[in-house]
């Protein structure tokens, strides 16, 4: 498959983009927010297929110039009115900051747990669930914070397992899923009660429902020396909505499709090195996985069950991915390394080519689509 | 003492619970405790229609039915909404019933527990909903949460951490007021108090003076737990058994009226302490005051008072009250005199110091002149760094006899820069070391300048740790070892003490003690940390066998790491004392003994998120504040705060003291140089002890014209300063010219 367009040399300026050609005036505009963890900046990027991508705005987050605050996860509310960013590093507890989308003004700050990372939001926008990844010290079971968004009130913490990451609510809003890197678990929470209702072991070779096991799990490396080390869980959409979730096995280079009715692995998708974040297009037909260890993304046809393309990204440590609501484009954040800035790649999901690349700030990671009413695909 | 933990080689679980009496570890029990009147029903699986689309935008989602419809948690029959209560069809029963709730209270109404103890929610603490008629409402789900430094809610247990007040938050979902749309959340609170261990004894401290009729003294009561540890935040009830002879008020002020024997009691609950006083006739007819008649602002002038009887004899032990007054009427003509007779003025002028005993007094006039501390400070050289922020620095003489400064980089920095500053007017960047990191926050060099350690945060693989450098060629340092074991959360600061390197780990928030005798093979040989949830370690400094460890919320801890008087060794520290203060944000501590032999500890705050400060990012409450606390360290086990240095418009960062000067990198206020000679009391800034300041901003900085001074170090007659926005500065405080001989 196409390796996409590679950047030549350094990327000067914020607004430099690779051009796809065409009449800009007639093109729709897609927008994403990207959190830059080591710059404490959030970038708002507009992509116009005919004109390329530009950084429209950079929003400063965090308060500590001498201690990086760590803008990690980013989620836009389903109605597109607000966006949330987790300020992960904390002293030591992290926070979630709520912004009005568009003017990008701060609405509220709420303290969460240790290293809050990714967030999932219920379809009605009422609850945001943030996985407290807890990178701090010895491994102990951590929590998912439940925040009532109208008041930005953390109403409870649900203990799940060690290093929860990836936080998503399935389309019908009844169940929340997260995965725990250090416990080899997929965890289901009932959104009506905020109780853990199911745990699923993702240890290679030992996959299956767990009964009665607490949050510590297997600690990895128990499946014949292999570990899934799950970093993400993404619910199925379309015809698979509310029936399956996809789990990125960062340590075992595969994505699992887990049937959440039968609680069994229904399919496996071998990937490249280090699948990290996942995205399913709105029609439920494509699965996109960032390959953190391979500087690429893999695209899978969920109908046929095969990888249909692998696209090299502009910089290493490929991190987050979101698809436009119309399923035409994937937006991929790349952390990069050290002082080299991160980038955003826009991939045409038809041609499987990188059609725009934009340099952002340091350690570009958390990303979400901002669906303006006029945007293709409408409001998310 | 006793709050710290000392680990042997390789450490231990750093999150051990402190004396929790009951700990829940099963998920099922824990989650059940979050429910009041609900249980397994809430965990039922839901049958869903996979073809059902998510709710459209701007349209509230329809209320969800859940398995809870069939059976409320506690097995009680679901209650039917009463007349007058919105039926709210379509909402789950737990939500519908929530409409009836007028109040949620805990039982007991005020939750009280001891620090270190735990209470089970649902057993020891019940959360109960009531309707407007005061009847219990069952069949709803109550979510509990607790956001406090004094207590935590874990595994369904409220655990007391430290003395203080908190609130248990209880939330339920109810139908929205509008009647349609998603359920809303209503929240209620219950007071929660964490208390110390029971008071076992109360002592009234000997005031050390005689009680003469007509005088008043303030008494101090000490409440002690069974183990002898002092209790804070206790209410003391004072009484006098012979009020005709002496009265005592609620603040402990004892006023002597008539001669005789009186017993004063101080009660904390049922525990009572008592002390008997003899009220004596007051023989004092005069008070003589002695002390200096001249001084400078900021000088601590010591006054002594002698009470005399009619025969001219000294009345020993008479309680003396000191007071100071200015003759000028300007509001800022400030001076203070402390109960021990120490007087210090912030402004020049003529002051009157009065010493009185029951209406008899003596006075002295003291003329206070400007301190005249200010000196010119000049720029000698610069090492501009415009492409990335600069962090900490370390200046040293290399093994090749030349002088160097190493600087770290921040926020996408990745590098440690090596500067040859042998000619301070012309710092030359000789090389840099690049590592996988986005913050190289700290740089330290060992005593013989053969090894350096730099810290890593923001590594692309999140392994972080430290990098050890071989300084055989100090102009071109090379990596000797990269050590990440158990330091993956990132290291923010380090400090050398011989062959030991102390590393501040962002993950455990413990000090990791590393044997660095072989720079190619670093090994952890111990750990030390306090045992408190929510602890946040920031810095460590070691001098003369004592380590000063700055915990953000919990203050500075003094450890014996080789002094030996408290039984500590470099690898097995022993806690000596600690000091915490209300402002918190304890960032850095620097010990110093001045030329008068006075031992101080300068403790810097780093306060961001200040609502009253100038904003940094345009968000309310993100401005920089913070100041330098001055602690008297004559007794390291009992530090006392005696002074402060506070620039009003800025926030303090790193500091260094040498030759009776305190150098403070004061962020947006640039470098500040402060006279810390003699005794220190009060507000050093207002006293005119500031010698010089230099704004370290420049048009060609990473951020133009914006000083953000990070760290200072006096070295070979100059002051080297790193600035976040502009790099390395070399400054010199110009000595005062001697007056020409006449």
Per-residue pLDDT of B280-295, as tens digits, reads 999 999 999 999 999 9
Q: Does residue B78 or residue B393 have the better pLDDT?
A: B393
Secondary structure of residue B28 in the 3-state scheme: helix
Interface check A124 vs B, CB under 8 A: yes
- Which residue ranges of chain A lie beneath pLDDT 70? 1-26, 212-224, 372-380
Residues 6+ apart with CB under 8 A from B261: B242, B245, B276, B277, B278, B279
pLDDT at B611: 60
- Whether ipTM > 0.85 holds is yes
In whole angstroms, what is the distance from residue B65 CA to residue B85 CA?
Answer: 19
Q: From chain A, pick out residues whose CB is under 8 angstroms from the CB of B35.
A: 193, 195
B416 CB contacts (<8 Å, ≥6 apart)?
B406, B407, B408, B409, B432, B433, B435, B440, B443, B452, B454, B469, B477
Chain B CB contacts of A137 under 8 Å are 14-15, 489, 505, 507-510
The rounded distance, in Å, linking the Cα atoms of B532 and B509 is 10
* pLDDT over 50 at B556, yes or no: yes
Instruction: State the pTM of this model.
Output: 0.86
> Cβ contacts (< 8 Å) between A63 and chain B: which residues?
608-609, 616-617, 619, 621-622
Q: Is the separation of the CB atoms in A247 and A232 below 8 Å?
A: yes
Do A148 and B53 lie within an 8 Å CB cutoff?
no
pLDDT given at position B81: 40
User: How many residues in total does chain B contain?
Assistant: 742
Residue B10: phi and psi, rounded to 5, are: 75, -5
pLDDT reported for residue B233: 80
- Within 8 A of A341 by CB-CB distance, chain B residues are 412
| Residue position matching structure tokens 């699948």 | A275
H/E stretch holding B204 reads strand B199-204
Contact B455, B415 (CB under 8 A): no
Q: Could you tell me where the beta strands, DSSP code E, fall in B42-163?
A: 103-107, 111-114, 118-120, 126-130, 136-137, 143-146, 151-154, 157-160
Query: What order do you get walking across the sheet with A318-323 strand by strand?
Result: A318-323, A329-334, A343-348, A353-359
- Is-contact B469 B488, C-beta < 8 A? no
Q: Outline where DSSP puts E strands in B646-706.
A: 655-658, 661-665, 671-675, 682-683, 690-694
CA angle centred on A349, ends A345 and A353, rounded to 5°: 55
Distance from CA of residue B670 to its chain's centroid?
23
The helix (run of H) or strand (run of E) holding residue B556 is strand B555-560
Comparing CB atoms, the residue among B14, B46, B436 nearest residue A138 is B14
Cα distance between residue B395 and residue B406, in whole Å: 7
Nearest-CB residue to A195 (from B13, B43, B538): B43
Query: Between chains, do B66 and A239 touch, taking CB under 8 Å as contact?
Result: no
Quick one: how far is CA B600 from the chain centroid? 17
Minimal Cβ distance to B147: which of A123, A138, A154: A154
Mapped onto helix, strand or coil, the DSSP state of residue B256 is: strand
Q: What mean pLDDT do residues B511-526 have?
A: 96
Q: pLDDT digits over B150-170, tens only?
A: 899 988 899 998 888 999 999
Cα separation, B204 vs B221, in Å, equals 4
**DSSP type of residue B41:** G
Which residue in the set B54, B183, B457 is minimally distant from A68, CB to CB? Answer: B457
Query: pLDDT per residue over B603-628, tens digit each?
Result: 999 887 666 555 555 555 566 788 99
Shortest Cα–Cα distance, B305 to chain A (Å): 49
Chain A residue numbers touching B507 (CB-CB < 8 A)? 135-137
CA distance to A181, B193, B199, per residue, from B202 (Å): 52, 22, 8
Share of chain B above pLDDT 90, in %: 73
d(CA B329, CA B160): 51
Interface test with A, best of B127, B159, B391, B411 (most A CBs within 10 A): B411
Strand order in the sheet with B555-560: B537-543, B546-551, B555-560, B574-579
**Which residues are CB-contacts of B604 (< 8 A; sequence separation ≥ 6)?**
B587, B588, B589, B590, B626, B627, B628, B629, B652, B653, B654, B655, B664
Say how far apart CA B112 and CA B124 lie, in whole Å. Answer: 11
Give the HSE-up count for residue B667: Cα atoms under 13 Å, Cβ half-sphere. Answer: 24
Q: What confidence score (pLDDT) does residue A372 get?
A: 65
Instruction: Report pLDDT for A213.
Output: 58
> Which of B74 and B652 is assigned the larger pLDDT?
B652
Closest CA relative to residue B724, chosen from B606, B547, B614 = B606
* pLDDT, position B33: 26
Residue B47 has pLDDT above 80, yes or no: no
CA count, 13 A, side-chain hemisphere, B324:
24
pLDDT tens digits, one per residue of B311-329: 999 999 999 999 999 987 6
Question: Which residues in A342-372 are b (16+ Cβ under 10 Å) and which e?
Answer: bbbbbbbbeebbbbbbbbbbbbbbbbbbbbb
Q: What is the 3-state secondary structure (H, E, C) of chain A?
A: CCCCCCCCCCCCCCCCCCCCCCCHHHCCCEEEEEEECCCCEEEEEEEECCCEEEEEEEEECCCCCCCCCCEEEEEECCCCCEEEEEECCCCCEEEEEEEECCCCEEEEEEEEEECEEEEEECCCCCEEEEEECCCCCCCCCCEEEEEECCCCEEEEEEECCCCEEEEEECCCCCEEEEEECCCCEEEEEECCCCEEEEEEECCCCCCEEECCCCCCCCCCCCECCECCCEEEEEECCHHHCCCEEEEEECCCCEEEEEECCCCEEEEEEECCCCEEEEEECCCCCEEEEEECCCCEEEEEECCCCEEEEEEECCCCCEEEEEECCCCCEEEEEECCCCCCCCEEEEEECCCCEEEEEEECCCCEEEEEECCCCCCCCCCC
The tokens 């109403």 sit on which residue? Answer: A155
Q: Are residues B715 and B413 in contact, defined by beta-carbon separation less than 8 angstroms?
A: no
On the question of pLDDT at B55 being above 50, the answer is no
Q: What is the SS3 assignment for B486?
A: coil
What single DSSP character describes residue B99? Answer: T
**Cβ of B388 and A339 within 8 Å?**
yes
Q: Which pLDDT does position A63 carry in this prediction?
A: 82
pLDDT digits (tens, 9 = 90+) for B102-137: 999 999 999 999 988 999 999 999 999 999 999 999
A259 to chain B: which residues are within 8 Å by CB? Answer: none
Kindly indicate the confidence band of residue B231, based on its pLDDT and cuts at 50, 70 and 90: confident
- Starting from the edge strand earliest in sequence, which strands make up the sheet with A52-60, in order? A52-60, A41-48, A30-36, A364-369
pLDDT tens digits along B344-385: 999 999 999 999 999 999 999 999 999 999 999 999 999 999
B53 or A280, which is more confident: A280
pLDDT, residue B622, reads: 61
Residue A168: partners with Cβ closer than 8 Å, 6 or more residues away:
A120, A176, A177, A178, A233, A234, A235, A245
DSSP secondary structure of B228-240: SPBPPS---EEEE
Hey, are the CB atoms on A136 and B27 less than 8 Å from each other?
no
CB-CB contact of B100 with B159 (8 Å): no
Q: Nearest CA to CA, how far is A164 from chain B (Å)?
A: 15
pLDDT value of residue B331: 60
């Amino acid at each position: 498959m196409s390796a996409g367009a590679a950047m030549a040399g350094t990327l000067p300026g914020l607004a430099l983009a690779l051009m796809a050609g065409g009449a800009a005036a007639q093109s729709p505009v897609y927008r994403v927010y990207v959190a830059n963890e080591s710059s404490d900046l959030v970038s708002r990027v507009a992509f116009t297929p005919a004109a390329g991508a530009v950084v429209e705005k950079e929003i400063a987050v965090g308060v500590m110039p001498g201690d990086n605050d760590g803008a990690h996860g980013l989620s836009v509310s389903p109605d597109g009115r607000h966006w949330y960013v987790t300020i992960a590093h904390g002293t030591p507890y992290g926070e979630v900051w709520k912004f009005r989308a568009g003017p990008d003004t701060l609405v509220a700050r709420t303290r969460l747990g240790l290293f809050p990372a990714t967030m999932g939001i219920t379809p009605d926008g009422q609850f945001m669930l943030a996985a407290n990844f807890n990178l701090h010290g010895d491994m102990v079971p951590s929590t998912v914070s439940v925040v009532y968004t109208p008041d930005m009130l953390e109403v409870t913490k649900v203990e799940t397992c060690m290093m929860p990451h990836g936080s998503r609510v399935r389309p019908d809003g009844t169940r929340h899923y997260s995965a725990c890197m250090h416990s080899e678990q997929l965890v289901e929470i009932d959104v009506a009660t905020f109780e853990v209702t199911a745990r699923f072991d993702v240890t290679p070779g030992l996959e299956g429902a767990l009964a009665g096991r607490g949050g510590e799990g297997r600690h990895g490396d128990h499946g014949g020396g292999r570990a899934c080390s799950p970093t993400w869980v993404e619910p199925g959409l379309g015809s698979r909505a509310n029936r399956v979730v996809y789990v990125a096995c960062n340590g075992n280079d595969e994505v699992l499709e887990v049937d959440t009715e039968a609680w069994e692995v229904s399919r496996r998708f071998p990937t490249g090195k280090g699948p990290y974040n996942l995205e399913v297009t709105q029609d439920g037909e494509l699965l996109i996985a960032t390959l953190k260890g391979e500087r690429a993304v893999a695209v899978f046809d969920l109908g046929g069950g095969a990888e249909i393309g692998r696209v090299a990204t502009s910089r290493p440590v490929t991190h987050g991915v979101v698809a436009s609501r119309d399923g035409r484009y994937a937006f991929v954040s790349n952390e990069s390394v050290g002082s080299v800035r991160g980038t955003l790649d826009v991939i045409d999901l038809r041609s499987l080519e990188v059609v725009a690349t934009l340099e952002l700030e340091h350690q570009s990671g958390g990303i979400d689509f901002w669906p303006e009413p006029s945007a293709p695909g409408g409001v998310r | 003492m006793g709050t710290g933990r000392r680990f042997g080689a390789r450490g231990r679980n750093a999150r051990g619970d402190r004396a929790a009496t009951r700990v829940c570890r099963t998920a099922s029990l824990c989650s059940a405790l979050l429910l009041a009147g609900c249980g397994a029903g809430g965990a039922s699986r839901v049958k869903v229609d996979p073809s059902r689309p998510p709710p459209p935008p701007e349209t509230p989602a329809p209320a969800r039915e859940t398995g809870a419809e069939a059976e409320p948690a506690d097995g009680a029959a679901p209650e039917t909404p009463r007349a007058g209560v919105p039926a709210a069809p379509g909402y789950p029963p737990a939500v519908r019933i929530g409409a009836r709730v007028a109040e949620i209270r805990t039982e007991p109404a005020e939750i009280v527990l001891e620090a270190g103890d735990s209470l089970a929610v649902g057993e020891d603490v019940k959360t109960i909903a009531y309707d407007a008629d005061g009847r219990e409402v069952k069949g709803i789900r109550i979510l509990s949460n607790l956001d406090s430094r004094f207590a935590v809610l874990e595994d369904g247990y409220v655990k007391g951490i430290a003395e203080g007040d908190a609130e248990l938050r209880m939330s339920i979902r109810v139908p929205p007021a509008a009647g349609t749309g998603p359920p809303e959340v209503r929240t209620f609170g219950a007071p929660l108090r964490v208390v110390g261990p029971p008071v076992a004894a109360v002592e009234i401290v000997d005031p050390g003076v005689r009680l003469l009729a007509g005088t008043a003294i303030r008494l101090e009561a000490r409440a002690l737990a069974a183990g002898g540890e002092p209790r804070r935040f206790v209410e003391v009830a004072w009484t006098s058994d012979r009020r005709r002879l002496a009265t005592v008020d609620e603040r402990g002020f004892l006023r002597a009226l008539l001669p005789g024997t009186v017993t004063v009691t101080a009660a904390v609950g049922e525990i009572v302490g008592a002390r008997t006083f003899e009220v004596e006739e007051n023989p004092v007819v005069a008070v003589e005051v002695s002390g200096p008649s001249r001084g400078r602002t900021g000088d601590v002038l010591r006054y002594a008072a002698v009470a005399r009887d009619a025969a001219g004899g000294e009345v020993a032990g008479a309680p003396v009250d000191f007071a100071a007054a200015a003759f000028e009427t300007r509001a800022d003509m400030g001076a203070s005199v402390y109960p021990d007779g120490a007087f210090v003025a912030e402004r020049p002028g003529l002051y009157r110091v009065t010493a009185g005993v029951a209406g008899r007094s003596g006075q002295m006039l003291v003329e206070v002149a400007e301190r005249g501390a200010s000196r010119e400070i000049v720029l000698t050289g610069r090492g501009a760094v415009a492409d990335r922020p600069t962090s900490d620095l370390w200046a040293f003489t290399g093994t090749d006899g030349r002088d160097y400064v190493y600087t770290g980089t921040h926020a996408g920095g990745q590098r440690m820069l090596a500067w040859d500053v042998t000619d301070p007017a012309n710092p030359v960047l000789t090389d840099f070391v690049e590592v996988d990191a986005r913050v190289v926050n700290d740089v330290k060099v060992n005593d013989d300048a053969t090894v350096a350690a730099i810290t890593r945060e923001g590594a692309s693989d999140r392994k972080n740790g430290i990098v050890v450098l071989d300084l055989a060629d100090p102009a071109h340092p090379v990596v000797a070892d990269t050590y990440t074991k158990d330091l993956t959360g990132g290291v923010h600061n380090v400090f050398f003490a011989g062959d030991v390197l102390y590393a501040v780990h962002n993950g455990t928030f413990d000090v990791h003690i590393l044997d660095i005798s072989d720079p190619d093979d670093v090994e952890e040989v111990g750990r030390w940390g306090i045992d408190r949830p929510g602890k946040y370690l920031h810095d460590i400094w070691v001098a003369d066998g004592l380590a000063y460890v700055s915990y953000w919320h919990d203050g500075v801890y003094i450890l014996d790491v080789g002094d030996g008087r408290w039984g500590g060794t470099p690898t097995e520290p022993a806690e000596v004392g600690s000091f915490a203060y209300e402002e918190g944000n304890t960032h850095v501590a620097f010990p110093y003994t001045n030329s008068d032999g006075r031992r101080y500890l300068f403790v810097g705050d780093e306060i961001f998120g200040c609502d009253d400060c100038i904003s940094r990012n345009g968000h309310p409450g993100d401005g920089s504040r913070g100041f330098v606390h001055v602690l008297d360290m004559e007794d390291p086990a009992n530090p006392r705060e005696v002074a402060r240095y506070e620039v009003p418009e800025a926030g303090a960062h790193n500091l260094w003291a040498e030759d009776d000067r305190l150098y403070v990198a004061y962020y947006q206020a640039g470098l500040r140089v402060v006279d810390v000679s003699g005794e220190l009391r009060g507000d050093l800034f207002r006293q005119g002890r500031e010698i010089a300041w230099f704004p370290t901003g420049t048009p060609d900085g990473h951020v133009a014209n914006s000083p953000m001074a990070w760290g200072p170090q006096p070295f070979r007659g100059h002051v080297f300063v790193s600035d976040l926005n502009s790099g390395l500065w070399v400054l010199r405080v110009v000595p005062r010219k001697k007056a020409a001989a006449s």
